[in-house]
Amino acid sequence: MTSFMDAINPVTRIGAVLLLATPLLVSVDVVSAAVALTASILLAPLAGMPWLQLIRRSWPILAAAPISGLSMALYGRPEGTEYASFLFAHITDNSLQLALAIMVRVLAIGLPVVVLTARVDPTDFGDGLAQVLRLPARFVIGAVAGVRLLGLFRRDWASLGRARRARGVADTSRIRHAATMSFGLGDTGRLRRWTTMAFALLVLAIRRGTKLATAMEARGFGAPGLRTWGRASTVGWRDAVVLMIAAFISTAAIAVAVYAGTFRFLGA
């Protein structure tokens, strides 16, 4: 299923994220963050991200927001009525307001990132960085190749686990029995297994990266001079519309906060 965002250059998406996030970083108030968050949620389906899919993709952000709010509620600057205190922790009116503002702000900054960066192809992103932003081609191509290899880590990890079981190195029944006899012994077995597999994965990644670098050098990826590109990366009116919408949302959020009298500079 295609959407309006599928025709948007990946560089434009990153620019829209910066336009949305940067103004929100200068203020700590609930109103501006709530306005930006509401706009992001309402526009998500138009960007090809249904609300249910947005919730599934945003679970790390949804989990991090309460944690950030809790730390601010306990250790924020104490002002106003104090409700509870313990050592360095003080729960006051100001700390609770800051906690709510931080939680909403984490969502207001994180959810647009999920919406705008969904289904971004690394190759298209690399083409945009090199052709639109004019970044060094050697750096861009190397970064794209590295991102492409990240997808192999999970498959390599599963292959290493199967190979260990085939050789009898990791006897899961023995580890499970040891865990029932002694919690520490079972935990140590799992930790040792994870450490050895992580080291093997590191060695495999270094070898693969070395081979890939040699192959890319042999094909002329590191040659000096002007490069040609197989696919052109361009920006058009759709990209301008996305940037204008992002700028309008962030500007409107700050304007509404100023009008409501809740605008508060970060650190003030």
The mean pLDDT of 257-267, rounded to a whole number, is: 80
Please give the residue that has the higher pLDDT: either 49 or 174: 49
Least confident interval from 2-6, 26-30, 99-103 = 2-6
Please give the residue that has the higher pLDDT: either 253 or 7: 253
Q: Which residues pair with 90 in a beta bridge?
A: 85
pLDDT at 249 over 80: yes
Report pLDDT digits (tens) over 191-216: 787 888 888 888 888 888 888 888 88
pLDDT band of 268, cuts 50, 70, 90: low
Please give the residue that has the higher pLDDT: either 210 or 221: 210
pLDDT band of 169, cuts 50, 70, 90: low
The mean pLDDT of 26-47, rounded to a whole number, is: 88
pLDDT at residue 153 in the model? 81
The mean pLDDT of 26-44, rounded to a whole number, is: 89
The mean pLDDT of 153-166, rounded to a whole number, is: 82
Residue 61 burial by Cβ neighbours in a 10 Å radius (0-12, 13-18, 19+): middle
The mean pLDDT of 8-30, rounded to a whole number, is: 88
- Mean pLDDT of all residues in the chain? 82
pLDDT at residue 267 in the model? 53
Would you tell me how many other CB atoms lie within 10 Å of the CB of residue 217? 11
Report pLDDT digits (tens) over 59-112: 989 998 888 888 888 877 777 788 887 777 888 888 888 888 889 999 999 999
pLDDT at residue 39 in the model? 92
Would you tell me how many other CB atoms lie within 10 Å of the CB of residue 191? 10
d(CA 108, CA 102): 10
Buried b or exposed e, range 114-129, using 16+ CB within 10 angstroms: bbbbbebebbbbbbbb
pLDDT at residue 243 in the model? 93
pLDDT at residue 182 in the model? 42
pLDDT band of 178, cuts 50, 70, 90: very low
Residue type, 124: D
pLDDT at residue 16 in the model? 92
The mean pLDDT of 157-185, rounded to a whole number, is: 61
Residue 258 CA: distances (Å) to CA of 28, 96, 104, 232, 262: 12, 21, 17, 43, 6
Please give the residue that has the higher pLDDT: either 193 or 21: 21
The mean pLDDT of 29-51, rounded to a whole number, is: 89
* Contact of 11 with 135, CB cutoff 8 Å: no
Full 3-state SS string of 24-93: HCCECCHHHHHHHHHHHHHHCHHHCCCHHHHHHHCHHHHHHHHHHHHHHHHHCCCCCCEEEEECCEEEEH
